[in-house]
Amino acid sequence: MSQPLQTSTNVPLKPSKNIFYKVSKRIFDIIASSFILILISPILGYVALRIKLEDNGPVIFKQKRAGLNDRPFLIYKFRSMKVINRQKDKQENLYNWPDRVPDDFVFKTTTGFNPNVTKIGRFIRKYSIDELPQFINVLKGEMSIVGPRPEIIEISSCYDDYQAQRLFVKPGITGWAQVNGRSEISHGEKIAYDLYYVKHQSLVLDFKIFFKTVYQAIFGKGAI
């Protein structure tokens, strides 16, 4: 596993101001996400139909996340939970750290059998298919294909100034933290990897992350 840059808390980071990089990254996002959405459209249609047939609830689940410069946006995911439990789940996603998010915090996802997850939900979660609608967020300009994963508002609201620097760039479907540990790393490690990305943004690094993600998806290395 690659080691993240140990970024000093005393040296504020600045996102890239390279116009060529920013324009090229946006062009890549539009072209790649459009191509991927067309390519996977049969999968999207099949999953949407299965979700609708199972309980006749909404196909898409929307959740508020922290975007570029901490501007909130609604992230799109295929719904994997039963409708009756959505409000309960929302109430459980509350965090209250007075100073900062602890470095040893690890976001716990539900493992094993969960009766609140639908049958199709278990399948799409296992293979991260529930995340595919986020390519629509990319087309809308709310996300990028590569960037720090968008944090839920309850957690990002507890960031200190150092941690908040990960919000200096547009959130992504995959990022440097995801290809170097994904869901298995602590919050402190995730921040270090994300700030490494903020400091070293480039097309070379973006493509490295993109192709490492494709490799991990094919060979099942961890879960985003």
The per-residue pLDDT for range 33-52, each reduced to its tens digit, is 999 999 999 999 999 999 99
User: What is the rounded CA–CA span in Å between residue 144 and residue 173?
Assistant: 7
Average confidence score pLDDT of the chain: 87
Highest mean pLDDT, choosing among 8-12, 90-94, 114-118: 114-118
Prediction pTM value = 0.86
Q: Which of 90, 68, 210 is nearest to 140 (CA)?
A: 68
pLDDT at 12: 78
